[in-house]
Each structure stands twice: as C-alpha cells, then as structure tokens.
Amino acid sequence: MMNTEIETNVFPLKVTTAEKVNLLDLDLPALTEFFVGLQEKNFRAQQVFKWIHQKGVADFSLMTDLSLSLRKKLPEVCEIRAPIVAREDVSSDGTRKWLMKVEGGNYIETVFIPEKDRGTLCVSSQVGCALNCSFCSTATQGFNRNLTVSEIIGQVWRAAQRLRELSLEAKSEIEAEEPKITNVVMMGMGEPLLNFDAVMSALSIMRHELAYALPRRRVTLSTSGVVPNIYRFSTEADAALALSLHAPNDALRNQLVPINKKYPIAMLMDACRQYTVDKPNRHVLMEYVMLRGVNDSVEIAKQLVKILEGIPCKVNLIPFNPFPGADYERSKVEDIQAFRAVLMRAGLVTTLRKTRGEDIDAACGQLVGRIVDKTRRNERFLQKTAVDGK
C-alpha cells in the first residue's frame, strides 16, 4: 500500500473568479448555448468539448483549432475547474483511491480499479450520503450537499488525467500495462438518484462520442431504491441500472436500507420491471451485501429467488467490508456459497464480487471522504461507537 499526500497545485489551473462559467458544468447542448451566447458558431462547442474531455486540456491557449481571438476571449468569461486531488492511495492490488477537495471544505473519494481487460472508475455523486444504510461506512459520515456536474464529471476528468501520466510512465517499462478508464460506476459516496439532474448531465458527458465515448453497458448507476427517479432514469438515461437490494423482505430491508420504508420492495420490483420492459438488452444488477447471520441464510436466498421472478437481472453477491464501529460481520465463505447455490439452481446468474482496495479503505461501502456534516449523524455514530467500545 502506498499513500501520497498531493499538494493542491499538483494539477494547476488558472485562478478562478465567481463570475466565470465552469465549462465542466456543461454538457454539449449547454456548451453549445454558451458559445451561441458568445456569438460563436455551434461547432466551436464541439471543438472545446473534445479538448476538455477527450484530451484533458484546461488551457485555452493550447486549443489550437480555435481562432486566436477566441482563445484570448475564453479565459475572460469561463474556466475549466475540477475537484483538486489532495491525496492518492495505492493498494497492494493496484487499486487507486483519490481524496478530492470540493467547495465548502469538503472532500470526496473516487476509486479506480484496474483489471486485465478493464479499468473501472467508481464515482461519487454527493458529499456524504443523504440516506442511512446501516452497513455502509459512508452513511456514518452524514451528509452535506449534492455534487455539481463539474464535481461529478470532474472526478472522471481528474482520473483520466492521472492515468495518462501513469501511461507515460508505463511506456518506459517493458510490458507495462497502460491504465485506462473503460467503465464508470456511480457507486461512490451518495445516492445518485437524489441528485438526478446533475448526475444525468454527467452521464451524458461520459457517454458522448466527443467526450469519453463509454458504451451504455459500461456506465452503471447504483441506487438504493428511489422509485420515482428509477422510472425517470428508465426513460431519460441510456445507462445500466444497479439496485442496492440486500434483503428480500420489507422487515429486513427496512433495517438495512431505511429508504425501503418509503419505497417498499413491491414498489421497487415494479420499477425494475419497468426499466426492462420492451428492452431486451436491459437487465438490472441486483447488489447484495453478505452480512453474517443477518441476510445470508438459505431461507433468505429462497425469498430472494421469489421476489426476482420475472425480472431480467443478475445478482452480485458482495462480501461485507468491515469498518470501525460496524454492527455487522462478513458472512462465512461456506454460507455465501450455499446462498449462491440456491440462486443459481433457480436460474439466476449470480456472481461474487472480488474485494479490491480493502487495505486502503477503497472497497465497497468503505468510502468516507471528509465531510462538513449538516445532519450530525457522524457525531451520533461516534458517540455510539464510544459507548459500545468499538
């Protein structure tokens, strides 16, 4: 494991002013409007869009296919401002976690997981999380605010920038792998569907052929079950859907995922069916964290089979990743295997997620950042932890 504190000027951008428009906040239609407002042709937006996202360029003077007059004008009215990388942690398995500074004295976390045939970037959507799932470390940190478009897509922009640096370093090594973002998962800090508009704009940039050009099946949004916005997502977004399910009955899911009290399982399953209806290439990834003695019995597995009947889906079993003060333990390997066997006998495609980045607290459910907590949830959690002696 390697931990690196990074000075805030390690990726220097120009000094900003409040009046300037941050171009990272704009998807292509919005960027086109911006350039029309400057009495420029529509194609200028496409040129700048490519410079920003395909090439990672933030200096307008380097955008050589723009006119000289436009290159001089742009710094006066706009900027390209992403979250600042404050720290980089590198796991023994190659996973990288970046602590990124955003407005208001807050820090979020973003994780890159390299594999032989892919590179997955886990992106945050909120500072903390407005929900309070009982098995998630992020939830104990409380909540501050939603991230802006620039703070969401800025995580991708910063990660791509850093990976380009690593690629240049790798070229000097024999047979070195060049890291690259091939997949993005909205599974970091926060509930993406509670920050719907900003997340949708960021997803459109990730998918756009003039930006990161990620295929639909390689961009995944994970939700705890905000039912009305699952319906909106079904029609407004061209991306994959994952559901943090974790329990097959309301009594248990109310305990693990409190939003279930507002949107119970029957409503949730109906929304998942709507996401897949008349779309043969769509399925829902059902995420299921394995908690010892809580939701990992064979009987619970049979209940899970029943509620998923008729829904095109895959099930991803996730070994619980412990954190200080947690009330849960990871399921035994034999219990996970028995649970999985029940699902597979019922014809459900079931995978077991490999834990990555655990030694740097970058695994699923471990992201915490540094949050100016408006909910006082972190204060209450620390008090409870002290009382319990954990």
**Per-residue confidence band for 8, with pLDDT thresholds at 50, 70 and 90:** very low
Residue scoring higher pLDDT (176 or 311): 311
Do 99 and 155 touch, CB atoms closer than 8 A? Answer: no
* CA 243 to mean position of chain CA atoms: 13
- Kindly give the residue spans of alpha helices, DSSP state H, lying in the chain: 28-37, 42-53, 68-77, 137-140, 149-170, 196-207, 227-236, 250-256, 265-276, 298-307, 333-345, 377-388
User: What are the C-alpha distances in Å from 176 to residues 61, 166, 168, 173, 211?
Assistant: 33, 10, 10, 5, 26
- Asked if pLDDT for residue 252 goes beyond 90, the answer is yes
For 205, list phi and psi in degrees, rounded to 5.
-70, -45
In whole angstroms, what is the distance from residue 37 CA to residue 199 CA? 25
**pLDDT tens, residue by residue, 315-334:** 999 999 887 777 899 999 99
Q: Could you tell me which of 259, 206, 204 has the C-alpha nearest to residue 229?
A: 259
Q: What is the phi-psi region of residue 50: left when phi exceeds 0, alpha when psi lies from -120 to 50, beta otherwise?
A: alpha
- Asked if pLDDT for residue 388 goes beyond 60, the answer is no
The DSSP line for 149-212 is HHHHHHHHHHHHHHHHHHHHHHTTSTT-------EEEE-SSS-GGGSHHHHHHHHHHHH-TTTT
Residues in the chain: 390
Residue scoring higher pLDDT (112 or 13): 112
**pLDDT tens, residue by residue, 348-372:** 999 998 877 666 665 565 556 565 6
| Tokens found for residue 156 | 């991708």
Report the amino acid identity of residue 296: D
**pLDDT tens, residue by residue, 261-288:** 999 999 999 999 999 998 888 999 999 9
**pLDDT tens, residue by residue, 122-152:** 999 999 988 888 888 877 788 899 999 999 9
Q: What angle do CA 194, 96, 196 make, to 5 degrees?
A: 10
- Asked if pLDDT for residue 33 goes beyond 70, the answer is yes
DSSP bridge pairs for 219: 184
For the chain, domains (ranges, CATH) are 18-79 (1.10.150.530), 84-388 (3.20.20.70)
> Catalytic residue positions?
109, 364
Quote the pLDDT of residue 16.
Answer: 46
Looking at every residue in the chain, the average pLDDT score rounds to 88
| Tokens found for residue 213 | 């050009």
In whole angstroms, what is the distance from residue 360 CA to residue 201 CA? 30
* End-to-end Cα distance, the chain: 25
- Asked if pLDDT for residue 11 goes beyond 50, the answer is no
In whole angstroms, what is the distance from residue 190 CA to residue 223 CA? 9
**Per-residue confidence band for 12, with pLDDT thresholds at 50, 70 and 90:** very low
Three-state secondary structure call for residue 283: coil
For 104, list phi and psi in degrees, rounded to 5.
85, 15
Q: Is the pTM of this model over 0.85?
A: yes
Q: Which residues are CB-neighbours of 191 under 8 A, at least 6 positions away? A: 125, 126, 129, 130, 131, 223, 224, 226
